[in-house]
């Protein structure tokens, strides 16, 4: 205990370390090489040279740690700034949490911001309700204020610095890995998405099909009220140039191959699966072909009925002439 007291006395005597405590305001100031940290306000804790230097009596419940952290704070309250120059321009901003050198450094009146990382949210001045996580996350241009945004990753949000925006990525890019718009409930994934894969790698083939470019891989069922697939359609069957196979030819094909023409076999489907859009088009092709077959047969039936009626009338006439 004596050694500790002696050491503290030496630090104070040489000016390397100063402790100022004011019981009436419940403010604690610890500075190095200077007595310029703030001492006013209630419930504050200032640690570092010029930390909270100009804090006023109405700037309450702040914690500033680091060289010039909270330097210009006047009436801002309930802030936590940790890191050299963190929140150094904050004046009246409230309920901010800045962790890292220069974190939230340019913020002045913005409130309820969270900035974690060196110079995270550094250029946001008046925006509120943001979350910046990652070194340099936030806007590229000083004064490009945003509110209600979340930027996660080194330099995240540099290229897409708008309010109510979600950006998750590493680096400055206009196509981040994850992008969202809170105001309009929009979400984009600029990369592959796997569901239920566990630690398995993304598949590159499905049977004999190359699926390396597929963006969504699901190992499990998908339940949806509606699925819309962009594809071509089979109305070419009704064009004059379309060659409709005679039914006898279709019968021979089925006997030889075990499936309809232009329809994948059971073995092929089992091995490679099916493309929903293409399969829907093939099925529509067969429906339209069946329609043409039915029309042709109906014409034949109508013609036969007509001929039969004419023959019946002729027989009756011949019977009357006897």
146 and 228 within one domain: no
Inter-residue contact 22 to 7 (CB < 8 Å): no
**Domain span holding position 300:** 224-320
DSSP code for 246: P
Q: Is the pLDDT of residue 25 over 60?
A: no
> Does residue 234 sit in the same domain as residue 276?
yes
Sign of CA dihedral 241, 247, 248, 250: positive
**Is residue 22 pLDDT above 70, yes or no?**
no
Average pLDDT over residues 7-36: 47
My answer on whether 39 and 184 are in the same domain is: yes
pLDDT(17) > 70: no
Q: pLDDT value at position 28?
A: 54
Do residues 249 and 261 lie in contact, with contact meaning Cβ atoms separated by under 8 Å? no
15 and 135 both lie in a single domain = yes
Which range has the worst mean pLDDT, 1-5, 81-85, 109-113, 171-175? 1-5
**Mean pLDDT calculated for residue range 276-286:** 95
Confidence bin at 74 (pLDDT 50/70/90): very high
d(CA 256, CA 53): 92
| Residue 11 pLDDT class (50, 70, 90 cuts) | very low
- In this prediction, residue 29 carries a pLDDT of 57
When pLDDT is cut at 50, 70 and 90, the band that residue 321 belongs to is confident
Q: Higher-confidence residue: 227 or 15?
A: 227
pLDDT at 42: 86
Shared domain check, 27 and 69: yes
Cβ neighbours of residue 168 closer than 8 Å, sequence gap 6 or more: 152, 153, 156, 176, 177, 178
Does 215 map to a domain?
no
Q: How many domains does the chain have?
A: 2
Supply the mean pLDDT for the chain.
88
pTM: 0.76
């Amino acid at each position: 205990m004596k050694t500790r007291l002696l050491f503290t006395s030496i630090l104070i005597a040489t000016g390397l370390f100063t402790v100022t405590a004011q019981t009436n305001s419940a403010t604690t100031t610890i500075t190095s090489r200077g007595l310029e940290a703030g001492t006013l306000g209630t419930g504050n804790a200032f640690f570092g040279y010029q930390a909270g230097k100009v804090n006023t009596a109405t700037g309450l419940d702040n914690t500033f740690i680091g060289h010039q952290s909270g330097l210009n704070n006047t009436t801002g309250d309930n802030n936590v700034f940790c890191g050299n120059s963190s929140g150094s321009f904050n004046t009246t901003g409230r309920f901010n949490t800045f962790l890292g050198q220069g974190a939230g450094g340019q913020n002045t009146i913005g409130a309820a911001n969270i900035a974690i990382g060196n110079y995270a949210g550094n250029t946001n001045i008046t925006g509120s309700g943001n979350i910046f996580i990652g070194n340099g996350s936030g806007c590229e241009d000083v004064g490009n204020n945003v509110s209600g945004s979340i930027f996660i990753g080194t330099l995240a949000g540099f290229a897409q610095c708008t309010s109510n925006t979600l950006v998750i990525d590493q680096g400055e890019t206009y196509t981040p890995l994850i992008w969202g718009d809170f105001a309009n409930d929009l979400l984009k994934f600029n990369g592959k998405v796997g569901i239920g894969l566990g630690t398995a790698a993304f598949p590159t083939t499905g049977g004999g099909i190359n699926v390396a470019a597929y963006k969504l891989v699901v190992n499990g069922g998908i339940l949806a009220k509606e699925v819309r697939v962009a594809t071509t359609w089979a109305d070419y069957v009704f064009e004059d140039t379309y060659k409709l196979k005679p039914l006898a030819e279709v019968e021979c094909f089925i006997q030889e191959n075990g499936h309809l023409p232009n329809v994948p076999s059971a073995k092929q489907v089992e091995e490679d699966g099916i493309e929903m859009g293409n399969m829907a088009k093939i099925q529509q092709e067969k429906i339209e072909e069946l329609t043409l077959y039915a029309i042709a047969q109906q014409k034949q039936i109508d013609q036969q009925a007509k001929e039969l009626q004419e023959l019946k009338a002729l027989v009756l006439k011949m019977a009357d002439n006897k």
